[in-house]
Structure 1
Amino acid sequence: MFKRMMLWVVTNIAVIAVITVILSVTGLSGALNGGQGLLPMLLAAAVIGFTGSIISLLMSKKMAIHGMGVHVIQQPENQMEVWLVETVRRQAEAAGIGMPDVGIFDSADPNAFATGANKNASLVAVSTGLLHNMNQDEIEAVLGHEVAHIANGDMVTLTLIQGVVNTFVIFLSRIVAGIITNALQGNSDDDSDAAVENSGTFFIVSFILQIVFGFLASMIVAWFSRQREFRADEGGARLAGKSKMIGALQALQNQHANEDLPGNLAAFGISGKFSSLFSSHPPLEVRIEALRNNQQF
């Protein structure tokens, strides 16, 4: 937990530093206040919106290894590790990607995730709980699901989606905050815009709106994540077999896997909390039914 917290702090310091430098170099430092017009405001929002997502993506592999305590298999020490590495190697070749690092993290809950900014230098990690509670066919399907995430470019795709969403959350919160502040202060002429956008009321309102819009926008990101899960299930079925993929999902369903992965990894795990519109994963029964009804396999 302490390592994860420290990595979170370091990442956020890096994000703030990069944003500050970019806004300063591009002359957009004051653009978020609206004084330079809507286009510069949008560009400044994009800098803030994309920087955090991109840095998190670039650091995701190292953060996963250190934050989750992943033991990366350099030289397999037992038959299980040999099998894990060879299975991922075979699936990666079939999917047309470079060989990912393969790792194990200590957790009683059955789970797995994939991460990495480059599909040819990624990481696939499984929990000890998954190894202890699933049979070999089910584990093979889980590995196929994670390799499919990598082959489908899901890490980069969801990073870009998150960046776009972040951008418009920041941009729209500033626009709407300006309108509300103008109305509250009874301003009706354009000359008052600068004063409004530098007022305490404007910043308070924009901060509240950013939270509200961010909450709503998380549903958009979650929806895209759920669609990627269906595709990863299909990929796992191609790489390991449809019956094995269905069996793995049924095993998770029977064991009620409920481990929370860190936010930047949650969308690429095999399981997750099922909280409807805000869940990164569809319900397991829906995923199983989708595979059963898919006639491609």
Structure 2
Amino acid sequence: MKRIILFLATNLAVMLVLSIAASLLGVNKYLTANGLNLGMLLGFAAVMGFGGSFISLLMSKTMAKWSTGAKVIAQPQTQAEHWLVNTVGRLAKNAGLPMPEVAIYEGEANAFATGASRNSSLVAVSTGLLQTMSESEVEAVLAHEIAHIANGDMVTLTLIQGVVNTFVIFISRVVGYFVDQALRKDGEESSGPGIGYMISVFVCDLLFGILASMIVMYFSRQREFRADAGAAKLLGSPQPMIAALHRLGGIEAGELPQNVATAGIAGRPGWMALFSSHPPIEERIAALR
């Protein structure tokens, strides 16, 4: 319940900030007495589409900690924590990265990396992962997450999400406008958007949003292959990553909150492959081989 309330509150706050920004910029007045102002609409769509994506990116570390309960290791207390911090530090150095924050959270086997940039990143692993995997397998998982940071995957996916969001908002309102005009009686003066516009925009936002999520998930799957390859390069061999994936394939991977689900090492396949953020483990192993 806490995660759901946090998710809803965050999204409402983001929408409020974006609505105020669009109003201050004047791009929310794309429906005029002379018809649809496409330039203004594009500006509105860009503010809403990219704005939401970049706000989410900037808040990603904080939201990840809140939603998973991850505790950052400021001063390692146990041998396991010392090993974890040292391993992340060594892998980050080999990848030419500054030291990320390292955290542990309670849960089944999984791990994720997030952050607004390579210089402000977080690598978190679950207690389940540490308990069910050998050190070499955990190291491979950590190398995978470090490769995500080195590849700039968080920013890349944010840009892709921003582009598709912009087109969804823009096209939905164009369709809504023409549907509304078609439903008006001949000679009827326009006094603002009618019910046809509002219903059409709602339906188009939903349908185009589904198509957009397929595009984003495709790129998410591709970045998993790249992160696996990056881990193999950091470790000098694909075998540790293959072993880690074999182990993940034989255990129940822990679910992550929606805001970090695409950043995990493992994810449950969607009800259709096109909506899955991660490729099947068998495909990932085949690609490494």
Q: What is the percent sequence identity of the aligned residues? A: 54
Q: Which residue of 1 is the match for residue 267 of structure 2?
A: 272
Cα distance between partner residues in 2 of 1:15 and 1:215: 21
Matches within 5 A, 1:48-63: 48-63=48-63
Question: In structure 1, what is the equivalent of residue 225 of structure 2?
Answer: 230
Q: Which residue of structure 2 lines up, in the alignment, with residue 295 of structure 1?
A: none
| Residue 253 (structure 1) aligned with residue 249 (structure 2) | yes
Q: Where in structure 2 are the equivalents of 1:99-248 lying within 5 Å?
A: 99-107=99-107, 109-185=108-184, 194-195=190-191, 198-240=193-235, 241-248=237-244
Question: Is contact 2:269–2:276 with CA below 8 Å preserved after alignment?
Answer: yes
Runs of 4+ in 1 over 4 A off after TM superposition: 32-36
Residue pair 1:32, 1:174 contacting (<8 A) in 2 also: no
Q: Structure 1 residues 91 and 32, CA, compared in 2 at 3 Å: closer, same or farther?
A: farther
SS of 2:82's equivalent in the other structure is helix
* Aligned-partner Cα distance in 2 for 1:31–1:92: 47
Question: Which amino acid in 1 is paired with 2:169?
Answer: I
Which amino acid in 1 is paired with 2:45?
Answer: A
- Work out the CA distance in 2 between the residues paired with 1:169 and 1:114: 28
SS in 2 for 1:148: helix
Matched positions, count: 285
SS in 1 for 2:59: helix
| Secondary structure in structure 2 of the residue aligned to 1:261 | coil
- The question of whether the paired residues in 2 share the 8 Å contact of 1:32 and 1:44 is answered with no
Letter paired with 1:168? F
Alpha-carbon spacing, 1:32–1:56, altered in 2? closer, same or farther (3 Å): farther
Deviation digits for residues 198-229 of structure 1 (CA, Å, limit 9, x no counterpart): 11221111111100100111000000000100
| AA matched with 2:259 | N
Task: Kindly provide the CA deviation profile for residues 76-110 of structure 1, in whole angstroms up to 9, marking residues without a partner as x.
Answer: 11111111000000010111111001111100x21
- For residue 283 of structure 2, what is the amino acid of its counterpart? V
For 2:95 and 2:279, how far apart are their aligned partners in 1? 24
- Residue 25 of structure 1 and its aligned partner are, at CA, apart by 2.0
Q: Does 1:284 align with 2:281?
A: yes
Q: 1:126-156 CA distances to partner (integer Å, 9 max, x unpaired)?
A: 0111011111111000000001111110011
**Contact 2:36–2:177 (CA under 8 A) maintained in structure 1:** no
Distance 1:179 1:13 in 2: 29
Deviations 1:148-204 (A, max 9, x none): 1111100111011101111100111111122223333355x8x96x54x61122111
Q: TM-score, normalised by structure 2?
A: 0.93
Structure 1: 5+ residue stretches without partners: 293-297
- State the AA in 1 paired with 2:130: L
Partner of 2:93: 93
TM-score (norm 1): 0.91
Give 1:35 deviation, angstroms: 4.6
Residue of structure 2 equivalent to 1:44:
44
Instruction: Provide structure 2 residue ranges, at least 5 long, that are not aligned to the other structure.
Output: none
1:219–1:278 Cα contact (<8 Å) kept: yes
Q: Write the letter of the residue equivalent to 1:203.
A: M
Partner AA of 2:20 in structure 1: V
* RMSD, aligned CA: 1.8
